[in-house]
A = this chain, B = another copy of it.
Amino acid sequence: MSSRPRAERARQVADVLRQRITAGLFPGGLLPDERTLGAHLGASRNAVREALGLLREEGLISRRRGVGTVIETPKYGHGLDRLAGLAETLTGHGAVTNEVRAAELLTAPPAAITERLELPAGTAVVCVERLRRLNGRPLSLDTSYLPADVGRAVLAGDLAGRDVFALIEETTGRLLGRAEVAVHAVTADPDTAGLLEIPVGAAVFAIERLTRLADGRPVDAESLRIRADRMTLHATLHRNRPSPTPAPPLSPLSSPPPLSPAD
């Protein structure tokens, strides 16, 4: 392996190291020195140094003079095994607080929103946008659109302190059923970067989630942007267990344009 180009080795070493860091294998939050890491990872000190540089750019670690290489932010796991709100997921790991940036009734919402919620065109919807913090630091930016009958009651709830999911269940007296989730990885635009307090161009998860009541009615069309330096998505996948519900429409999610790759 040592004969491979250095950038390639650095990438491979960074992958192994990221896995070990996010799996909690450096419990003190401090990484061993480069020589020790190199021995453990089977890599030269140069490759280790470059790999550490990649992980620094990701915001995962930083170098502190007189201390060494430290894990910058604990990375929290959001499970993809069950539908849960953020505060629910992070129970026991700190206080989730929400800065409510918008909470309003839209009497003439865009057709794109009513279609997504399977409502007739022109039906009023509620928009809630919140910047969510864990222990005071930004973690995600959540924009929800809800049908007006559900949303009005949610607007009256504790939006600064609670998950929208919990508010929906409490105010409707009904349980949520399932959600269709699409996960994208994108780079932060200036607005997102400013709100989440990350550099422009940093990687973020952009998640589209359409949540339905148990009877199948859509009640929450969300766009989430989650800091990828603070959150990892987790799942346990099974080989031979059929999905409990039909899978969402698979690929291609959009038809290819009728253009040649050479254009």
Contacts and interface: CB of A to CB of B under 8 A. Distances in A.
B257 A14 contact: no
A106 B186 contact: no
Contact of A177 (B5, B238, B245): B238
Count chain B CB atoms within 10 A of each CB in A7, A15, A79, A143 and give the residue with the most. A15
Contacts of A40: 110-112
A28 B247 CA distance: 24
Q: Chain A interface residue count: which class? A: 35 or more
B182 A143 contact: no
A227 B28 CA distance: 33
A30 B258 CA distance: 9
A212 to B, nearest CB: 9
15 contacts: A10-B189, A16-B113, A22-B184, A40-B110, A77-B182, A77-B251, A82-B238, A83-B238, A93-B252, A177-B239, A179-B236, A203-B203, A234-B247, A234-B248, A236-B247
Contacts of A67: 259
Interface in A111-138: 111-113, 116, 127, 137
Contact of A191 (B10, B184, B190): B10
A61 B229 CA distance: 26
Given A5-B191, A83-B238, 11 more contacts: A7-B189, A21-B254, A22-B182, A22-B184, A28-B257, A41-B112, A77-B251, A183-B233, A185-B228, A236-B243, A236-B245
